[in-house]
């Protein structure tokens, strides 16, 4: 139960951090000392603040058209327009990956909560069985958390690499860059998804191993004896199981008395003598 709680908490933390990375404009921050513009770049929108603290919030597409493509149009540089459009198309891929990651994480959270409730019910009943339905839930939660982890960590790594090259390219300009806190939040969320995935894998392997050990113990330590008659009536029979380490008990035949023998049973006939050939 403790491992289930840890998995559930890690999955919840991963979803919260991924949602913050999904919504906050902290993917790239910079300030131009000449124009005194403070730009906050998010997954879905730009936020541009001027020196007089007047801020303008635009979607990514509108911001690209207003601040980038319009400037390029004055120079009539068609090649640069194509490059900018390709950059925007690549950014749409980030949006799709992060959306799928958030959806997959929610599915993993729902499945992990279902597994946790199943474990609580079995603990209250005093028995625990790793049946097929529970194994299916664990497998679904494992795959969902794994997809969420991959779809968070890959975009974070790619964008951080591009951001680093962008920083190196613009060191000669009078631009001060801020810390991309949204990438940090997304990276920690991906790590939480990864740890919960590993715990689910270890739990699945451990429960499978324990199930095989229990099955082996049942088949090697207990063997069914033949159906024996326990009463005077032939219908009074039962099947009993005894450990191999203990010898099975011996039961006398029905109507047997130690001092009188067995009067109801006829004496067996003598075996014929062996004939000479």
- The answer to whether the pTM exceeds 0.85 is no
CATH code that applies to domain 2-30+94-221: 1.20.140.150
Taking each helix axis from N to C terminus, what angle separates 2-23 and 132-169, rounded to the nearest 10 degrees? 40
Q: Quote the DSSP letter at residue 273.
A: P
**At 40, phi and psi to the nearest 5?**
-115, 120
CA distance 133 to 246: 37
Contact 158, 186 (CB under 8 A): no
What's the pLDDT score for residue 234? 46
> Tens-digit pLDDT profile for the chain (277 aa)?
577 888 899 999 999 999 999 999 888 888 877 767 788 888 888 888 877 677 878 787 776 666 555 554 555 556 556 656 666 777 888 999 999 999 999 999 999 888 888 777 776 766 555 567 778 888 899 999 999 999 999 999 998 888 887 777 666 566 778 888 999 999 999 999 999 999 988 887 877 666 544 344 444 444 444 444 444 444 444 555 445 455 555 666 666 555 555 555 555 556 566 555 5
- DSSP letter for each residue of 186-250: HHHHHHHHHHHHHHHHHHHHHHHHHHHHHHHHHHHHEEEPPPEE-SSSTT-EE--EEETTSPPPP
Is residue 76 helix, strand or coil? coil
What's the pLDDT score for residue 198? 92
């Amino acid at each position: 139960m403790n491992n289930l709680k840890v998995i559930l908490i890690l999955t919840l933390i991963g979803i919260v951090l991924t949602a913050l990375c999904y919504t906050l404009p902290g993917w790239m921050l910079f300030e131009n000392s000449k124009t005194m513009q403070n730009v906050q770049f998010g997954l879905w929108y730009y936020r541009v603040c001027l020196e007089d603290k007047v801020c303008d919030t635009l979607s990514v597409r509108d911001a690209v058209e207003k601040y980038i493509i319009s400037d390029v149009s004055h120079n009539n540089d068609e090649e640069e327009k194509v490059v900018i459009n390709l950059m925007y198309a690549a950014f749409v891929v980030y949006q799709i990956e992060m959306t799928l990651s958030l959806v997959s994480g929610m599915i993993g959270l729902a499945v992990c909560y279902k597994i946790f409730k199943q474990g609580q019910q079995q603990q209250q009943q005093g028995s625990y069985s790793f049946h097929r339905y529970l194994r299916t839930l664990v497998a679904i939660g494992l795959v969902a958390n794994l997809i969420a982890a991959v779809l968070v960590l890959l975009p974070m790594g790619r964008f951080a690499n591009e951001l680093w090259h962008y920083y190196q390219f613009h060191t000669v300009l009078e631009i001060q860059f801020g810390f991309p806190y949204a990438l940090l939040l997304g990276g920690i969320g991906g790590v939480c998804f990864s740890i919960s995935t590993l715990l689910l894998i270890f739990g699945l392997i451990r429960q499978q191993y324990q199930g095989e050990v229990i099955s082996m113990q049942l088949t090697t330590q207990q063997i069914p004896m033949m159906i024996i008659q326990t009463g005077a009536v032939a219908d009074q029979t039962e099947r009993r199981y005894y450990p191999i380490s203990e010898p099975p008990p011996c039961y006398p035949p029905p109507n047997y008395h130690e001092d009188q023998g067995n009067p109801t049973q006829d004496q067996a006939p003598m075996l014929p003598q062996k004939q000479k050939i």
